[in-house]
Chain A
Amino acid sequence: MLTLENVSFEVQGEKGQKEIIRDINLTIDDHKFVVITGPNGGGKSTLAKLIAGIEKPAAGRIYFGGTDITNLGITERANLGISFAFQQPVRFKGIQVLDLIRLAAKRSLSAADACQYLSEVGLCAKDYINREVNASLSGGELKRIEIATVLARNTKMSVFDEPEAGIDLWSFQNLIQVFERMRKSTDGSILIISHQERILNIADEVVVIADGQITGQGPKEEVLPKLLGTASAVDACAKFYREGDKR
């Protein structure tokens, strides 16, 4: 279980301190699939980084499995069982996809085992396993490899920051299936930051964050109808899919 207690975060802006996260209280129960959504600039990604330890809160406490992790670094949190998939995955010259998946799994996986994680995210494993994680990969390919590293870790808490960003519409369908499968197979909790209605649709719980605060929270049946009434939540892709469904 992950608990955020009165968590705030601020950055130094032009006009003094600017609050990005304001006194947020949130609990993610074990085995839950939670999606955080809300307008751009509302503080969603910052919240994910606070959970992974990439940012430190200005106030408040964060607990994971009963342990106070507020002052723990990224590495310690990762080793306690928190995984984080970047919105914009990082490139590495020379490090191969296989190396990265092995580092993620923390064991000497066979190439065949590593390939399974790539197949899981819809990449033809043999074409990718020896590729370098460098600029020769497209944004969508990198994104899927990023998700594969989180799958390989198989931790108690997996946080995905906008997994759909940079993925083409054709791959998006597969991405939904990845999360559906992950939901069935994992013992841990999944926290996804997303604007996508289809991802919201498979959530146990939806949390809406706007202007650094939680403005809505509950089962998708309750939160979604309110949310979809607002123009900001309906982006072009969601429209596309809904129209596609009608055809």
Chain B
Amino acid sequence: MDRIQQRILAEVADLHEVPEGAYNIRANGQMAGRSTTANIDIISKTEVSGIDIRIQPGTKHESVHIPVVLSESGMKDLVYNDFYIGEDSDVVIVAGCGIHNCGDQDSQHDGIHRFHVGRNARVKYVEKHYGEGTGEGKRILNPVTEVYMEEGSSMEMEMVQIKGVDSTDRRTKAELAAGAKLVVRERLMTHGTQYAVSDYVVALNGADASADVVSRSVAKDQSYQKFDSRIVGNAACSGHTECDAIIMGDARILAVPQLEANDIDAELIHEAAIGKIAGEQIVKLMTLGLTEEEAEAQIVNGFLK
């Protein structure tokens, strides 16, 4: 891998060297490195581009890294990754995609991730998106994530897109069986003329299933964001979704939290707030000696931390 690819890898997966445990690194549409462990197998798909990640039942405290790097302008990449997470396992999965586009053609990565989370398994999933480069070509990411959670399983998803992605359309769908628990924490910042759509549909199908889908975002300049989160309660379950956004410059934000209850014991809550940075917050930080710009940057960084 070249230095650009290594730097992007550090941005999206906090990887500064070859990770421990299982990994699959994809660079410009090709496999750039792979490692498996006794409990975690990674197999290339034959009919379409992508991999199957198979985690044995009972696998504890292991991690899988599957970062993707695009550094060729004009590259269009579509992959299907399927995760089979065995019963009673407890694992960390780090995905992430970074695009470096210095050319004039659009670069695009569409990752379709399907998670099959076994009974009582616990998964922590981290996905970071990052873009850079000086070219006219756009950096486009359109991830589709499907999560199928069996009884008693839990999954925590951290979705981060802080910088440099021109256009993103994120679709996430989850189905939870009895006692399953899903927590989503999304952090998003858009700037320039960027466009970001984030769409969640979470179905709580079993008793005591629960979901908490929370987005914090900052929209700057002329960027546009849409956050559409729908929680469907089909059983005695609990669901909460929240969108908290800071709007700056000439940006536009549409927040669409939705709840659908199909069971009398479904307890569902949504919250949404959009507002600019409070003037008194800036004044307070200025009394500590920060300039107005520094104060604004601190407030945004803190909000997205």
The answer to whether A149 has its CB under 8 Å from any CB of chain B is yes
Contact A99–B302 (Cβ < 8 Å): yes
Instruction: Report the nearest A residue to B284, measured CB to CB.
Output: A90
The answer to whether B291 has its CB under 8 Å from any CB of chain A is yes
The answer to whether B305 has its CB under 8 Å from any CB of chain A is yes
Q: B288, B299, B301: which has the most chain A beta carbons within 10 Å?
A: B288
The answer to whether A12 has its CB under 8 Å from any CB of chain B is no
Q: A89, A94, A99: which has the most chain B beta carbons within 10 Å?
A: A94
- Interface size of A as a range: 20 to 34
Find chain A residues with CB under 8 A from B301 CB.
94
Partner of A103, one of B216, B283, B288, B292: B288
* Distance of A93 Cα from B244 Cα, bound (Å): 10
Contact A92–B288 (Cβ < 8 Å): no
Question: How would you classify the secondary structure of chain B's contact residues: helix, strand, loop or mixed?
Answer: helix
Instruction: Report the nearest B residue to A80, measured CB to CB.
Output: B289
Find chain B residues with CB under 8 A from A52 CB.
287
Instruction: Evaluate whether A78 and B289 lie within 8 angstroms (CB atoms) in the complex, with A90-B281, A92-B299, A103-B298 already known.
Output: yes
Contact B289–A75 (Cβ < 8 Å): yes
* Distance of A85 Cα from B93 Cα, bound (Å): 45
Mask for B264-305, Cβ within 8 A of A = 1, else 0?
A: 000000000000001011011111111110000011011111
Contact A75–B291 (Cβ < 8 Å): yes
Contact residues of A between 89 and 112, Cβ < 8 Å to B: 89-90, 92-96, 99, 103-104, 106
Contact A78–B298 (Cβ < 8 Å): no
Smallest Cβ distance from B295 to chain A, in angstroms?
8
* Distance of A74 Cα from B282 Cα, bound (Å): 10
- Chain B residues with CB under 8 Å of chain A are 216, 244, 278, 280-281, 283-292, 298-299, 301-305
CB-based closest 7 A-B pairs:
A95-B302, A94-B302, A74-B286, A78-B289, A90-B284, A94-B303, A84-B287
